[in-house]
Structure 1
Amino acid sequence: MASVRDEVGVYEYSGGIVGPGIEPAATVRNGGIIRTGTPPGCWGPMITPKFQGGHEVTRPVLVEGAEVGDAIAIRLRKVRVTSLATSSGVMEFVDGRYLGDPFVAKLCPACGTTSPGSHIEGVGDDAVHCDHCGAEVSAFRFSNGYVIVLDRENQVSLTVSKEVAEVLAQDAKVNAALPDTSGQHSILSLARADISGLAARMRPFLGNIGTSPSRDLPDSHNAGDFGSFLLDAPHGYSFTQEELDRHKTDGHMDTNSVREGAILICPVKVPGGGIYMGDMHAQQGNGEVAGHATDVAGEVELQVEVIKGLALDGPMLLQNADDLPFLARPMDAGEQSAIRRLGQKYGQAEIEDNAPITFIGSGPNLNDATKNGLDRAARITGISYEEVMNRATIAGSIEISRLPGVVRVTFMCPKSILSRLGILHLVEEQYGSTQ
């Protein structure tokens, strides 16, 4: 039996797949710490044909005592960018270079090799070449792309010109801060620079973090929207809808409030849970409208806690107070006093003791994702579906995490329910214990 450690460092990655077939890196004690350095997600793995998923996440870490049907709370203690620059943009597929899904089943159009080894030659759209025959081999192109430099100290960033982008591409791995054990090509090598001089703030978060699904699947497809691409797929990771719903854990959320200070609560679908993480973004507005954001390398530190008997289907989130929608922010002392006076005026003695909670929902589109989030909230809390709708309307919000289909369902939930679920201590740690 593997030794159980109080602190675990994991600096090896899974090559684009998550699930029980990936050997765990270690086992951490309940309450212990996990540290890692994550490679960029999305574009680097996308242009690296050997990857069978769109990200490069860590090998899983098991948590002592976590059993199927439990949940694991993950405190995000540190989420820091290490890249000096990155590149991203709107994608296009290149016909003839994949089987069904370019994220999962890439192939060389010249020699027909599937998931071929590859290397970088030069700079630009045609920089990725097959190791077997030398042909240009990337299955992806930018329809509009940019290179962006990052000021990690002041948390600001700036897109650069083609000339600057080509200079950065000459030392792409260093500027991207790719970990030594990373297997991806740096997207900086393409030097696509359609937007020059656009300034933006940074607010880093993890786009793919959670527990291992109970069947191997591509890391970028561990959600209801991207996962729908696996339905009856012509490659080795084909799923039915029932299988996808049963096995996935919705780790690929692209939810910009899964950042330093947040607490994420994830389902356990394999013994030990299998905590993995990756796909850090330097910034992203709600919705990831372009399909991809600013994927960066970064440093992450997590603390884990097993929540016994909390059987989840997908993640719950305790956001930082600043990230909560306005209507779900706990009321301050002045507002609470006004509420008491309002109740007295109309003879309403009962005032609910509650706190905000967020459920992640996913599906092929936003309507399906919203229904999934509402269903999960109703099923876990025991509140009726219709009441959850009302609560999210007047004391919460539905927010887009990613197009085409990941949302946040946030509402004020009675503390008696949060106590029954075994998470009241986490909620009060995050938001305070007073009404």
Structure 2
Amino acid sequence: MNKHSLTQDSTSSEALDSVSIYEYSGGIIGPSKEMLGPVKNGGKIQAGTPPGCWGPMITPAFQGGHEVTLPVAVEGADVGDAVALTIDRITVTSLATSSGVMEFVEGRYHGDPFVAKYCSSCGTEQPASHVEGIGDDAIHCDVCGAEVSAFRFSNGYVIVLDEKNKLSLTVNQEIANRLAGKAPEISRLPEASAQHSILSLARADMPGVAARMIPFLGNIGTTPSRDLPDSHNCGDFGKFLIDAPHKYGLSKEELYAAKTDGHMDTNSVREGAILICPVKIKGAGIYLGDMHAQQGNGEIAGHATDVSGETELSVEVIKGLELEGPILLQNIEDLPPMAVPLNAEEREKIKILAQHWGQDHIEKSGPVTFIGTGENLNEATEIGLRRASKATGIPYEEILNRATINGSIEISRLPGAVRVTFLCPLDILDRMGIGHLVRQKYNL
């Protein structure tokens, strides 16, 4: 593996054409984490990632809800720039996973069960733990031996995966029990992963459900400007940090200044898409994880099918593009219908319509999606709209009109992650420094 460390005060390491990463953050992402690389502007990052969510959730030592990679520095990326990540390849490696609707186990955490778990039997904070047997009671404290998980399924499933044919199927209790007996092997947990496999809980409430696989990354982006639990680098999960009774507690203003909204759970952040991320520390610190095998809009169950997987990204620095959160260039088939660029026949008919009414200007435009996260969907939507206005220079009320007649607001996650998509004038996208990406992506 090509690995160079980078401090915040020095970028003197020789930049690499490619950086491979199979090391993980332990649930925290921020300036205190070692940065690998740097990778060249225009270079590639390859990563193997373990599942997010349920595995870290049932592993008491974790102080975040995911297990993302250590960050990778990007040559020439300075605070106030942006970094464009083209997702060249996503491959699911897990053979099966488990997920479902969660319940908290009271008395086993301080304020937030994702961040501040403890053993209610011996009082050990974030204790080391191990798996004994299978089922809800499988996770045990290394210190005293007591069952220790802070989470339960209120309804859950085990699902087997066919990466080749992009299909999946939930299984019955007998099969779930069998898979639980070899959970790390079936999960394909990377060697450096520290989580317990959620397959060990063997919850199988809805066997026989067939579904397509459309894998994507639920948590990908740039390092926040202060240490945060990786699953809380966003407005909705992040709200649990506000005035929290643990060391990652902070004010809302501090959270919103620091976060980069890497945790989006946006199902169109998939192979072929381009994600343009804010740079809030020198070197940007690209990290990724929380791959999902599939998910509809909204992640309504709170969690989806988290899997191990392999990802390859291409990296490009956009100088001087100061962003508060990500911009996404979605695959054309993922765009809302109103934001799909007009085809050649439609453009010719628009010219005829313009001539009929004496309109001499027809805007040239391309689709962009601004991500907004907040404590609820209304706040997330307004944040996404205001980010669009600030980044483009288009008045807020005009953004409202554009998102209405040639765009859309779509839910990425409940309670508060949305996509604000609209067709934006190409001259504005050129001024932002991303016009070339939009033209290439949509063949404009």
Alignment partners' CA distance in 2, 1:297 and 1:99: 29
Alignment partners' CA distance in 2, 1:102 and 1:197: 31
Counterpart secondary structure, 2:143: coil
Instruction: Give a deviation string over 1:113-136, Cα, whole Å, max 9, x none.
Output: 000000000000000000000000
Residue 44 in structure 1 maps to residue 44 in structure 2: no
Specify which of 291, 306, 310 is matched with residue 299 of structure 1: 310
Instruction: Give a deviation string over 1:35-89, Cα, whole Å, max 9, x none.
Output: 0101000000000000000000000000000000000000000111000000000
Name the counterpart of 2:441: 430
Alignment partners' CA distance in 2, 1:29 and 1:274: 13
Give the alignment's TM-score, normalised by structure 2. Answer: 0.97
1:112, CA displacement in angstroms?
A: 0.3
Specify which of 114, 117, 122 is matched with residue 106 of structure 1: 117
Name the counterpart of 1:377: 388
1:431, CA displacement in angstroms?
A: 0.4
The count of corresponding residues between Structure 1 and Structure 2 is 433
Q: Which amino acid aligns with 2:95?
A: L
Name the counterpart of 2:187: 176
Alignment of structure 1 residues 1-150 onto 2, 5 Å:
1-150=12-161
Is there any run of 5+ residues in structure 2 with no aligned partner, and where?
A: 1-11
1:26, CA displacement in angstroms?
A: 2.0
Name the counterpart of 2:3: none
1:338, CA displacement in angstroms?
A: 1.2
Runs of 4+ in 1 over 4 A off after TM superposition: none
1:261, CA displacement in angstroms?
A: 0.1
Alignment partners' CA distance in 2, 1:187 and 1:52: 17
Specify which of 264, 270, 285 is matched with residue 253 of structure 1: 264
Residue 333 in structure 1 maps to residue 335 in structure 2: no
Instruction: Give a deviation string over 1:403-425, Cα, whole Å, max 9, x none.
Output: 00000000010001000000011
Alignment partners' CA distance in 2, 1:168 and 1:331: 49
Instruction: Give a deviation string over 1:249-302, Cα, whole Å, max 9, x none.
Output: 000000000000000000000000000000000000000000000000000000
Alignment partners' CA distance in 2, 1:31 and 1:3: 14
Name the counterpart of 1:152: 163
**Root-mean-square deviation over aligned CA pairs:** 0.5
Q: Which amino acid aligns with 2:76?
A: G
Alignment partners' CA distance in 2, 1:217 and 1:430: 33
Alignment partners' CA distance in 2, 1:124 and 1:76: 36
Counterpart secondary structure, 1:32: strand
Specify which of 195, 199, 212 is matched with residue 201 of structure 1: 212
Counterpart secondary structure, 2:220: strand
1:333, CA displacement in angstroms?
A: 1.1
Q: Which amino acid aligns with 1:255?
A: T
Alignment partners' CA distance in 2, 1:38 and 1:84: 14
Alignment partners' CA distance in 2, 1:98 and 1:245: 24
Q: Which amino acid aligns with 1:334?
A: E
Alignment partners' CA distance in 1, 2:14 and 2:359: 57
Q: Which amino acid aligns with 1:425?
A: H
Alignment partners' CA distance in 2, 1:297 and 1:232: 33
Alignment partners' CA distance in 2, 1:89 and 1:3: 45
Alignment partners' CA distance in 1, 2:19 and 2:214: 26
Instruction: Give a deviation string over 1:324-365, Cα, whole Å, max 9, x none.
Output: 000000111111111111111111121000010000001000
Name the counterpart of 1:265: 276
Name the counterpart of 2:400: 389
Alignment partners' CA distance in 2, 1:394 and 1:80: 36
Alignment partners' CA distance in 1, 2:129 and 2:226: 28
Is there any run of 5+ residues in structure 1 with no aligned partner, and where?
A: none
Instruction: Give a deviation string over 1:2-28, Cα, whole Å, max 9, x none.
Output: 332110001100000010011112210
1:239, CA displacement in angstroms?
A: 1.0
Quote the sequence identity (%).
69
Alignment partners' CA distance in 2, 1:6 and 1:26: 10
Specify which of 206, 214, 236 is matched with residue 225 of structure 1: 236
Q: Which amino acid aligns with 2:96?
A: A
